[in-house]
Each structure stands twice: as structure tokens, then as C-alpha cells.
Amino acid sequence: MGLFSAISEWSNGRYEKRVSKMQEKGLCPDCGGKGIHTLPHEHLYSSTFHCPGCSGSGLFEDWMK
Ligand SMILES: [Zn+2]
């Protein structure tokens, strides 16, 4: 096993953990239930956009679709 596959296995495990945690709460794992994403480095204009994972609802149900 190379270093890269070790890292990708580690991050896959982390992601799955996060997903199952958010599933318990019924919230979208991508946006944490907010339904939007914000880009912190943008200051000049509104940089929030609807979460593509849940279509802006913030629900785990919609994220699963
Ligand atoms: Zn979302």
C-alpha cells in the first residue's frame, strides 16, 4: 500500500463518519443543514449559493437522492 492510498482510505473513513453523524441528525452532510454554502474569501459581493447536495433544503433525505 502506498502513501496515497493510505491517505485516501483515511479521508474516506472520515467522510463516512461525518455522513453517518449527519444522518442521525437528518441534515445534509455537505452544508451541515444550512442549505447554502459561503465562500469565506469573497468580500465584494454575496458569495452564498444553494448547496448542490441537498438543493438548498439542508435535509439528509434530499441529499440522499
Ligand atoms: Zn446541503
What are the tens digits of pLDDT across the range 6-52?
A: 878 788 888 899 999 999 999 999 999 999 988 766 566 667 889 99
What are the tens digits of pLDDT across the range 46-58?
A: 678 899 999 999 9
Q: Are 56 and 30 in contact (CB under 8 A)?
A: no
Q: Are 11 and 1 in contact (CB under 8 A)?
A: no
54 CA to centre of ligand 1 in angstroms:
4
CA–CA dist 13, 63 (Å, integer): 19
16 CA to centre of ligand 1 in angstroms:
16
Instruction: Give the cell for residue 22.
Output: 449527519
27 CA to centre of ligand 1 in angstroms:
8
